[in-house]
Chains A and B, each alone.
Chain A
Amino acid sequence: MKYLLLKHYRGGPTPAVDFPPMDQWTPEEVDAHVQFMRDFASRLEETGEFVDMQALSAEGAFIRYGGQGEPPVTDGPFAETKDLIAGWYIIDVDSWDRAVEIAGELSAVPGPGGEPLYEWLEVRPFLGAEAPKATE
């Protein structure tokens, strides 16, 4: 069952931990973060659960059809929008629970002081994959 793990530059629930942008960390903190991400990807490959990983540029825009004979309408770049996707993982796992477990590990990526970032990740089942039970 395939799941999309979306990482956002902006958007999602209120951050659990407030942290400064990465260029204001120490070089060692940046290194530790990068190393964690690499190890995470190779662990998923080893378990046979990795499908795809992509990082997106922070630049982009919303586009829609502009009507007959008219050029497409552009909204953006995204300076004003609340939500901005930074990239994704696609994983192929046995259950929703496993997808949640993996997302939890990814969210523990270290930030300043080597502390976990507790970053929100959006986990979306592909159609047909086990979905989370609705909670009250």
Chain B
Amino acid sequence: MSELDALTEARIRDLVPAVIGVLVRRGADFASAEDAVQEALIRALQAWPDDPPRDPKGWLVAAAWHKFVDAARSETSRQRRELAVDAEPPAGQAPNSDDTLRLYFLCAHPSLPSAAAVALTLRAVGGLTTRQIAQACLVPEATMAQRIVRAKRKIEGLPLDRHGDLATVLRVLYLVFNEGYGGDVDLAAEAIRLTRQLVALTDNEPEVAGLLALMLLHHARRESRTGPGGRLVPLAEQDRSRWDTALIAEGVAILQTALARDRLGEYQAQAAIAALHADAQKVAETDWVQIVEWYDELLALTGSPVVRLNRAVAVGEADGAHAGLAALAEVDADVPRYDAVAAYLHERAGDLASAAELYAKAARGAASVQEVEYLTREAARVRQLLR
């Protein structure tokens, strides 16, 4: 069997939410429609490389509808009751983009745990298979299948005709973006694709555009974030010539349009900070004063302790390490990466002994093998300066 190239596959997956929408409009409930489309999708991925259809969407609708009817029939005979399902589909109205938008809201419904919302969004909106989602999230396929079943059960009966909470949708998309990549699926690229689609569906809603800009600006630095063997490279040491200038230009343009609408939100503020970093050709050219101002905005918007921590780093760069330490004194020490920031600021302030201790402590509490390695090495580096 020949393989589909990634672009063709993405084009097929673009169709998934619309096809689910068609089935729902024809009277299928969301859970069954989504199952049927998933099965049709798996068939399409197998059959299309050798025998591409002339009308991909029509093919998917027909295949999914048949799956749905089959499933409903066997359900009917099992339960010995009538279901209002006809083999001949009623003529659905013209597909409408609102269907896709509603799917975003449904899959990221606030009643769902984050991991479930991520999985359901990737399947029903993203058109990924359960196997791909499982690989990308590093869990067994059966676990992922069950997670999706339970998520669908939880939102069963929720109307697909109302808009939900945009903030939860954005949070779920950002989680997908940060999930990284495992298996053959690049979840960061997938999150960008879905957010791009959401920007169009919401008529350039500033916060949605802000999130897209933030993702693009982060994605632009991806190649430079790891060194040989997967070693972490911090922002200040990254080879800026490896940043993707096209992505940066696009992110900045999208952000400027969003900011011009004068409805600031946390994603726009975060993107503004990312844009200021992207703007500096050398780390020494970074406009830390402006970055601190954006952190102040972000803090006013969110009150988040993580923002407070990052702000302390920026203050340290703008006004010196002692000012940074003073800003750090207002941060809860339980915030993740607190020790790493404290270590950095202490080193900059010339207190190498404390810095070495703090780096070692930060390594013990780090969130990944790469972080442990990086922070251990920092501790070793500072200790060497003490000798």
Mark A residues whose CB is within 8 Å of B: 21-27, 29-31, 34-35, 38, 55, 57-59
Contacts and interface: CB of A to CB of B under 8 A. Distances in A.
A59 B380 contact: no
B364 interface: yes
B229 A27 contact: no
Q: Which of B229, B230, B359 has the most CB of A within 10 A?
A: B229
Given A34-B229, A35-B229, A38-B229, A23 B383 contact: yes
A87 B115 CA distance: 25
B380 A23 contact: yes
B380 A30 contact: yes
A24 B229 contact: no
Interface stretch (B165-173, B325-333, B368-376): B368-376
Given A23-B376, A29-B380, A55-B369, 12 more contacts: A21-B360, A22-B379, A23-B360, A24-B380, A26-B384, A30-B377, A30-B380, A31-B377, A34-B229, A35-B229, A57-B365, A59-B365
Nearest to A58: B364
B376 A22 contact: yes
Given A38-B229, A58-B364, A27 B380 contact: yes
B356 to A, nearest CB: 7
B16 to A, nearest CB: 32
A38 B369 CA distance: 11
A74 B379 CA distance: 32
Q: Which of B229, B376, B380, B381 has the most CB of A within 10 A?
A: B380
A34 B230 CA distance: 11
Contacts of A21: 360
B363 interface: yes
B381 A27 contact: yes
Given A38-B229, A58-B364, A27 B369 contact: no
Contact of A30 (B229, B365, B376): B376
Contacts of A38: 229-230
Nearest to B377: A30
5 contacts: A22-B380, A23-B376, A24-B380, A35-B229, A59-B365
Which 10 A-B residue pairs are closest in the complex by CB-CB distance? Answer: A23-B379, A23-B360, A30-B377, A27-B381, A27-B380, A38-B229, A30-B380, A55-B369, A34-B373, A22-B376
B38 to A, nearest CB: 28
Contacts of A58: 364
B45 to A, nearest CB: 27
Nearest to A22: B376
B230 to A, nearest CB: 7
Interface of B: 229-231, 356, 359-360, 363-365, 369, 372-373, 376-377, 379-381, 383-384
Chain B facing A: main interface SS: helix
A30 B230 CA distance: 15
Contacts of A29: 380
Nearest to B379: A23
A25 B229 contact: no
A21 B360 CA distance: 9
Nearest to B367: A57
A27 B377 contact: yes
Contact of A27 (B363, B365, B384): B384
B381 A55 contact: no
Contacts of B356: 23
A59 B231 CA distance: 24
Contacts of A30: 373, 376-377, 380
Contacts of B365: 57, 59
Q: Which of A23, A26, A30, A55 has the most CB of B within 10 A?
A: A23
Given A30-B376, A30-B380, A23 B363 contact: yes
Contact of A24 (B231, B372, B383): B383
Contacts of B360: 21, 23
Nearest to A59: B365
A34 B381 CA distance: 15
Contacts of B231: 34
Contact of B372 (A25, A27, A31, A55): A55
A35 B360 CA distance: 19
A34 B360 CA distance: 16
A22 B383 CA distance: 11
A31 B227 CA distance: 12
A29 B373 CA distance: 12
